[in-house]
Structure 1
């Protein structure tokens, strides 16, 4: 029986830039930053006080992907193809007040491409990390 989710993957083009964005802008904490051999690094962040879930910030390519697939995914990230409509989010972050978190992050320079908007499942906004991936803020509906 599945009892939870431990790790989600967000593909990034630059792990150092992603680490800075997630820790300094989003106030997440580093869970792991380990060299895994030539050209491979396991970098994971998470919400302080919530050790059960982390987001791995990985550069497309070996060992997670074969070199050809990694290069294709890097090209998609570089051109912003995964962000353009905000449909494919790397991760959804739950918040208590989407409008307030949106305002705070926008003031910190985060680029939003969808402002807070109500849906049956809650209030949602989408933003980019500047390296080709997009993320969602979600204030879950109490009635969904």
Structure 2
């Protein structure tokens, strides 16, 4: 049986640009950065202190996925599912991230399940910033 989820992948156009966004703007830490050959780079980030899950910042590459596979994956950039990121103060985190240039799609709003605000990364992937009740 499946024991746990350990990694999720976000498709990106540029790994360096994505790394700067996730580390400098969102405050994540780089966990792994290994090059296996031309165009093949394993790059992961995660919120500081969270050990259970890493996000793979993957650039579709023909050397890794084949020409057709890389083309199909590239078309999916920014089309991922909504990620929920927990915070203990949504309004404060909203102000901090917005001051760093993070594009928000909604202001913090009271919901029955907590306070939330939506933002997107460089490529249009949507994140839900949630202060749960």
Give the TM interval when normalised to the shorter protein: 0.7 to 0.9
Give yes or no for contact 2:11–2:76 (8 Å, CA) kept in 1: no
Task: Specify the SS of the correspondent of 1:127.
Answer: strand
Structure 2 counterpart of 1:113, from 105, 119, 122: 105
Which residue of structure 1 aligns with residue 31 of structure 2? 31
Distance change in 2, residues 1:116/1:29 (3 Å): same
The reply on whether 1:98 has 2:90 as its aligned counterpart is yes
Q: How many matched pairs?
A: 132
Deviation of the 1:60 alpha carbon: 2.8
Could you tell me how far 1:15 is from its partner in structure 2? 0.5
CA contact 2:39–2:61 (8 Å) conserved in 1: no
Match of 2:12 in 1: 12
Q: Structure 2: where are the runs of 5+ without partners? A: none
CA RMSD of aligned residues (A): 2.2
For 2:117 and 2:73, the matched residues in 1 are separated by 24
Instruction: Give the deviation of 1:74 after TM superposition.
Output: 2.2
Stretches of structure 1 that go unaligned for 5 or more consecutive residues are none
Q: What TM-score, normalized by structure 2, do the two folds share?
A: 0.83
**Quick check: 1:13–1:132 contact (8 Å CA) kept in 2?**
no
Residues 68 and 109 of structure 1: is their aligned pair in 2 closer, same or farther, counting only changes over 3 Å? same
**1:115 aligns to what SS in structure 2?**
coil
Task: Please show how residues 1-144 of structure 1 align to structure 2 within 5 Å.
Answer: 1-61=1-61, 63=64, 65-77=65-77, 82=79, 88-89=81-82, 91-141=83-133
